[in-house]
Amino acid sequence: MTSPVSELIELLAVERLEDNIFRGQSRDIGTKYVFGGQVLGQALSAAQNTMDSAKDPRAAHSLHAYFLRAGDIEAPILYMVDRTRDGGSFSVRRVTAIQHGQPILFLAASFQHEESGSEHQLSMPEVPQPEDVEHDHAVPPEVLARLPTKVQRWLSRQGPFEFRHVYPRDELKPPKRPPYQQVWFRLSEKVGDEPELHRALLTYASDFHLLGTATFPHGISYYQPNVQMASLDHALWFHRPFRADDWLLYSIDSPSAQGARGLARGMIYDREGRLVASTAQEGMIRVLTDAPARGPMVG
């Protein structure tokens, strides 16, 4: 039987159709539309596949993306890569993700030769080690049965990543609390050593829990039928080498919410305290009246 990890690796390994055209499949994980992390990870994989790592090794150090339309979980996605620039030290790739003839995401990724230079970083928050944090609790069956079908599938799925919340929150009955959280996470199986694979995996995982942090002060959650949420953009910077199958700490805060939008930022540390990546995302957050029951949206 195929494991969730091998399914994810297959999902992120986009198929090359032409030199700069790739195709990725879609996966229904219980969200109403294609999960944003899937499109981000596939777009980065497409960009990485246009780099000549044998002759001129350059690693992705940042990506910036805009979500334009909700993705259809029943249809594949085409990725058109523009080889924008190959300079002396840096390269840039622009990727357009297309479904049904319409762009659903724009992504730009920058690549760099490995170089040495001055270093500093913010310290990792003082939190318990992942072994001292409880596994996320499953929703009781009697509670799950009362939820919409899509939400049931989202909450009962066995995903490829294991998450452990340092300060867990009841998403079905969310209290009001300050807009920050820390989450330990790792891929649930060991995988190969290719850095490109681990960057694509971290890109996928970075879309979990980020925007939701902006809901904390308001006592709302995307599981509630009157709350509508969707990612608008996403930025990710890779700072230092890491492995997605080792424990990483996602430290997230939300500095602002306004105009039916929320902003969230994240810093990702390995368990030795090295800052390996940073993220930022803005998303739409609407509280509707008389809204029909539905599942979680994109982000």
* 208 has a pLDDT exceeding 60: yes
φ/ψ (deg, to 5) at 216: -60, -45
**Which residues are known to be catalytic?**
207, 231, 281
When the pLDDT of each residue in the chain is averaged and rounded to a whole number, the result is 91
Q: What is the pLDDT of residue 151?
A: 64
Q: What does the alpha-carbon distance between residue 62 and residue 236 come to, in Å, rounded to a whole number?
A: 6
Nearest of 267, 273, 262 to residue 230 by alpha carbon: 262
- Indicate the pTM of the whole model: 0.91
- Quote the Cα angle for 101-82-194, to 5°: 105
Compute the distance between CA of residue 219 and CA of residue 212 in angstroms, rounded to an integer. 11
pLDDT of residue 181: 97
- pLDDT tens column, 244-299: 999 999 999 999 999 999 999 999 999 999 999 999 999 999 999 865 544 444 44
Domain 4-113+136-287 indexed as CATH 2.40.160.210: yes
Instruction: Name all contacts of 138-147 with Cβ < 8 Å and 24+ positions apart.
Output: 139/172, 143/172, 147/172, 147/223
The confidence score (pLDDT) of residue 295 equals 47
What pLDDT was estimated at residue 222? 84
pLDDT in tens, 146-203: 666 666 665 656 789 999 999 998 888 899 999 999 999 999 999 999 999 999 999 9
Residue 90 banded pLDDT, cuts 50, 70, 90: very high
Instruction: Please check the confidence at residue 145 and state whether its pLDDT lies above 80.
Output: no
CA 204 to chain CA mean position, Å: 4
Domain regions of the chain by residue span: 4-113+136-287
Q: b/e string for 30-64 if b means 16 or more Cβ within 10 A?
A: bbbbbbbbbbbbbbbbbbbbbbeeeeeebbbbbbe
Residue 88 reports pLDDT greater than 70: yes
Q: Read off the pLDDT band of 32 (50, 70, 90).
A: confident
